[in-house]
Amino acid sequence: MADREPAPAFGPEGIGLAEREAVAFAADLIRIDTTNRGGGDCRERPAAEYVAERLSEAGLEPMLLESAPGRANVVARVAGQDPSADALLAHGHLDVVPAEPADWARHPFSGEIADGMLHGRGAVDMKNADAVLLAVARHLARAGLRPRRDVVLAFTADEEDTAAYGAAWLVQNHAVLFDGCTEAIGESGAFTFHAGNEVRLYPVASAERGTAWLKLTARGRAGHGSRANPDNAVAKLAHAVARIADYRWPVRLIPTVRAAISALADSAAVAPAELEDEAAIARTLSRIGPAAALVANTIRNSANPTMLAAGYKVNVIPAEATACVDGRMLPGYEAEFAAALDELTGPDVSWEYLHREVPLEAPSDARVVAAMRDALLAEDPGGTVVPYCMSGGTDAKQFSRLGIAGYGFTPLRLPPDFDYYEMFHGVNERVPVAAVEFAVRVVTRFLAAA
């Protein structure tokens, strides 16, 4: 990476030790199986103990907090230079989604380093970022440096399910630990997106869609499978599911996405963005090229059928049939989402929220965003930082209940052939070692200025 300026040589050992520690910590954390199968089936405590030990070695005083046996979280505060300044929260989750070893080229919990890559479940989502926070905190302590303001570090359980044992529990039961925090950084932002023509984008997230996991229920008359039955619950449900799957949600541009499309058009050096109506937006996205993928899933609400259940025997018409739908809602369009579901399910199918979380949108012109941009461009001067709305959700939703504005900022400089999105919950998850080292330098710069 010859086009970046030299990394700052903080402390007698410089930044290199922190880079090496981050890679080693990430590998260690991957080797600790924290698979979250949902419904309370997870054990993050061994990883939480590892994190707490690394922080203690740096002279910090981490608190290990169990919400239930084995479901552990870690919180620590790093004192800043300006005690009057608002504090910053930096959070990451310790749990990972399941991985079937037979499907992987390398064991998902090996933490193996090969061909310049760190392999394993959590390499991207998000034990690499947890390791970066650990390494930077230790680096600052060794160098006798303090961030501009207090930084609260939170390593949480249960983000890959409902956060009930993690961030939600912390917010409900230990809110005092986050006193003074007004802004937060978390996962899924500031990664390299290669937009063609050597354009490197770094999307910094200041918004995310809300979560609406739904259960649909159809009821009818049970009966023999050989007889006509106009009150068939399975048929009612199937019609509703098909309508939901076929529905094209209207385009709704929130300020973050509107700004993102304009910035992407500028970076692609195409005509100025046209945002007047759906046809104009479609024209603009077609001109932007590959970068349109950064906004394609956040220009509208969505609802995808994911599960079906009915019956117990092929010749028996059941009295009830159910389906699950993964819905996502843009900020300000929750009521529109619910109204559309009422219409799509119709009078024969009821629906309810299995799990619901708020959509978020934070100011994209805040000082903290400028500090993110400056830190990224100091390490990659040829990059371009753009606004971003996440299509899914993070623990930022939970911390927003404390009035904390959340941003997606887990920096990675990635090569052109690296499919970042494919790594999330995918097979053969991996991350370049150099990307983790880049993250250490960027986060160190960021904390000094944020």
Quote the mean pLDDT of the chain: 95
* pLDDT of res. 5: 44
Residue for token pair 């970046």: 4
Indicate if the pLDDT at residue 153 is higher than 50. Answer: yes
Does the pLDDT of residue 46 top 60, yes or no?
yes
pLDDT-derived band at 273, boundaries 50, 70, 90 = confident
Half-sphere exposure of 396 (CA within 13 A, CB side): 31
pLDDT-wise least confident of 43-52, 200-209, 279-288, 323-332: 279-288
Does the pLDDT value for residue 146 go beyond 60?
A: yes
pLDDT at 294 over 50: yes
Q: Which of 119, 124, 187 is nearest to 154 (CA)?
A: 187
Provide CB contacts within 8 A for 180, sequence distance 6+.
Answer: 86, 87, 150
Q: What is the pLDDT of residue 197?
A: 86
- What's the rounded Cα separation, in Å, for the pair 133 and 58? 12
> Of 204, 26, 178, 219, which is closest to residue 91 (Cα–Cα)?
178
Separation of alpha carbons 120 and 421, rounded Å: 15
- Please, which pLDDT band fits residue 271 given cuts at 50, 70 and 90? confident
CA atoms within 13 A on the CB side of 158: 22
Compute CA distances 381 → 19, 269, 288, whole Å.
20, 18, 22
Q: Alpha-carbon distance 383 to 133, whole Å?
A: 23
Confidence at residue 338, expressed as pLDDT on a 0 to 100 scale: 98
Over residues 3-22, the pLDDT tens digits come to 444 444 443 357 999 999 99
Taking 90 as the threshold, does the pLDDT of residue 103 lie above it? yes
Report whether pLDDT(309) > 50.
Answer: yes
Higher pLDDT, 431 or 422: 431
Which residues lie below 8 Å from residue 65, measured CB to CB, with a gap of 6+?
A: 72, 73, 74, 75, 170, 174
Say what the pTM is. 0.92
Give me the pLDDT at residue 13, please.
52
Cα–Cα dist 422/54, whole Å: 30
CA distances from 208 to 73, 365, 377, 400 (A): 24, 16, 24, 12
Domains annotated for the chain, with CATH where assigned, are 16-188+394-449 (3.40.630.10), 210-357 (3.30.70.360)
pLDDT digits (tens, 9 = 90+) for 72-99: 999 999 999 999 999 999 999 999 999 9
Using DSSP bridges, classify how beta strands 200-208 and 383-390 pair: parallel, antiparallel or unpaired.
parallel
Residue pLDDT, tens place only, 181-238: 999 999 999 999 999 889 999 999 999 999 999 999 999 999 999 999 999 999 999 9
Give the pLDDT confidence of 342-370 residue by residue, as tens digits: 999 999 999 999 999 999 999 999 999 99
Tell me the C-alpha distance between 11 and 273, whole Å: 46
